[in-house]
């Protein structure tokens, strides 16, 4: 075999190996593109799911079956906590009251959250931790207008500047 023929056959084998390598490279690139497309679809789906209206529950889940287990005059505070779990909050100033709240809110996409239901149970105990009274408060809380410059409070409505001047006047009177 002549030197030219060996050179030509080497060149042909070299080109053949290059085309096989390119073919493998093309398959790898195609697989990577499919993987990236799949990942983008999964992230887009998760994003769209997270944009849906969300309903959240805050507080203790209280149902009629649990309430029926509670007896005024015989249920102890410890028994109540076994039935309903830890209270949402306790009364102040040694009032011997504990409270259980349950608020369900729905947050529609791009809108203000809406309270669907709100339950508040107040339990009052005597000095021996025996249940004296159980009250269910179903009145929905007033909505808060966060864009208003006035703060509503019982008997007083002050704007931001009025609050600042009121506090300055009060501070001057105490000095």
pLDDT digits (tens, 9 = 90+) for 121-169: 899 999 999 999 998 877 655 665 656 665 565 445 566 677 677 677 7
Please list, in sequence order, all residues whose beta carbon lies within 8 angstroms of the beta carbon of residue 60, skipping any fewer than 6 positions away: 84, 85, 87, 88, 100, 101, 102
Q: Where are the beta strands (DSSP E) in the chain?
A: 54-59, 89-90, 97-107, 114-125, 131-137, 151-153, 156-158
Closest CA relative to residue 57, chosen from 131, 117, 144, 129: 117
Domain count, the chain: 2
Question: What is the pTM (predicted TM-score) of this model?
Answer: 0.51
pLDDT digits (tens, 9 = 90+) for 26-52: 767 777 888 888 888 888 887 777 666
The predicted structure's pLDDT at residue 155: 46
For residues 58-79, average pLDDT: 88
Which H or E run contains 154? none
User: 102, 62 in Cβ contact below 8 A?
Assistant: yes
Q: Phi first, then psi: what are they for 91, rounded to 5°?
A: -65, 155
Q: Phi first, then psi: what are they for 147, rounded to 5°?
A: -90, -10
**158 part of a folded domain:** no
Domain that holds residue 45: 1-51
58 and 134 housed in the same domain? yes
What count of residues does the chain have? 175
43 and 72 housed in the same domain? no
**78 part of a folded domain:** yes
**174 part of a folded domain:** no
**Residue position matching structure tokens 């409270």:** 99
Alpha-helical regions (H) of 51-116: 64-68, 77-84
For residues 62-86, average pLDDT: 90
72 and 125 housed in the same domain? yes
C-alpha–C-alpha distance, residues 108 and 130, integer Å: 43
């Amino acid at each position: 075999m002549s030197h030219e023929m060996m050179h030509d056959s080497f060149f042909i084998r070299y080109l053949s190996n290059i085309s096989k390598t390119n073919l493998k490279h093309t398959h790898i690139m195609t697989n990577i593109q499919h993987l990236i497309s799949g990942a983008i679809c999964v992230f887009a789906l998760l994003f769209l799911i997270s944009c849906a209206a969300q309903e959240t529950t805050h507080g203790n889940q209280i149902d009629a079956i649990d309430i029926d287990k509670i007896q005024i005059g015989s249920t102890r505070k410890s028994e109540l906590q076994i039935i309903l779990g830890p209270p949402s909050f306790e009364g102040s100033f040694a009032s011997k009251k504990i409270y259980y709240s349950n608020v369900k809110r729905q947050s529609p996409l791009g809108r203000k959250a809406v309270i669907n239901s709100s339950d508040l149970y107040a339990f009052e105990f005597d000095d021996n931790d025996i249940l004296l009274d159980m009250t269910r408060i179903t009145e929905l809380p007033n909505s808060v207008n966060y864009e208003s410059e006035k703060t509503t409070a019982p008997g007083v409505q002050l704007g931001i500047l009025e609050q600042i001047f009121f506090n300055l006047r009060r501070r001057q009177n105490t000095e």
